[in-house]
Structure 1
């Protein structure tokens, strides 16, 4: 049997939050990425998010040779055959839903397939990872989760508080995801997840996307081998069906955008003593064009080819088949 080649894989990235243009799309193609959850809202309300979705429609139309907007796993598989990138639209907050659970169906009909419940701070749905006190999933949050289950939108618990995460896992009728985070034992960051949350996620059939963002891997000096050994250890602990990748790439943004991510509209920039800065990425992974080094690294630490294929994309496809409506169900 021929050895596994990166180009043979259907690579799916659990999340990227790039400032998308043709150059960035070409970076993903160069890295052999076939599917990606592309963030189109963080702090935005419903009206702003509609514009962001419209921007994606326009970008996909203008670059149809490179990209297609996907609604299910079969769309990603078809994109692999066609040599294109399949984009799943996603939110990193429930702010686009405002205070109306019916907005879940509205945005689902517009093509949004993934929504993170909270982003860093408490909202109407629940608590977040940087809150001093995690309220847990609110009454409104339970209706949001139920409506996401009903229409076929994946619940994402990245940036969500641990109590709210456990509540959401219990409340959800189906498996959920943590699209971009790591075990807390690997790097001490509020963004990373303790074992009990990860174990509960896996027990319900969910998937964790191991994240390459410098702040959640221990900084830019973390080596490829250290990262890949963490992934392999997680595979051994919770099983090969529940581990994937979610790079959290942030390509093509200005310095102003990181301040928007940190502050939104909920606090003035003057309230932050140090101006937010983009972190330095490790030399071995600077962006989506570097995905082939992850295939090499996972093989080097002893994962077999079948498991590497699962981690690089197969597990996301299985989860999408379960959650999203479409031919894969």
Structure 2
């Protein structure tokens, strides 16, 4: 097949015109809201990320970065007319909304929406947060209030949280440095990594592994696509369940913890080191181990379909 120079030049010009048509222009909007105490920040946006960090004073500062798919400033102005950007203070609470008009029926050219919005907020550390984005990552620094976080297309990264945490994403990893309260983390497309959690933890992923450094309350962790590694500190106060369909399970427990162990795998062996176990059955089974540890107590249930199970005493 022969391609003439003229055709190559024409194709190059067409590519260049497409790039120009998809040039990106940025606009920045900044707002400040003095507050007198703790409150709740609510953010709703599409096509961008959300970042929230603690501030040293009693002022909420919001920086909105608008990324516009436009080739001229005039075109950008026209596209921004269809963006809903509102700031709604109510006492110490603040609601920020950044949404573009609905996608036209039958629209096929380019990406939608043509304006993506990233929000960066600094606020007093005592604030609670309710953050929702359909197209970006969520990052939250060290805050004391409860946090409810939702994203359909990005990762979630959390610092040292003082309240309860409820975080869901359909397309990324979740990391949490620490939490004092109850934790619920769920992702359909990434790993979950947790540091120190003082309350109960519910962790679920369909596409990655789970790693927990230390948890003091009940732990329920499930993955369909990776391994689980967890450390349970102190006595086991409530029933815990760790299960995976695609990897191994490794758990470390306090050597003095009293619990009922029920570990079973169809993809490897079960190993328990440093534990004093009164077995439910005298029959040895490489793929299952069940019995009372240090006299028994709450149930520690471990399941794997794709790897071995290991329980270690610290």
Q: If the length of structure 1 is used for normalisation, what is the TM-score?
A: 0.22
Structure with the greater alpha carbon radius of gyration: 2
Greater relative contact order (Cα < 8 A, sep 6+): 1
Greater per-residue helix proportion: 1
Which TM-score applies when normalising by structure 2? 0.22
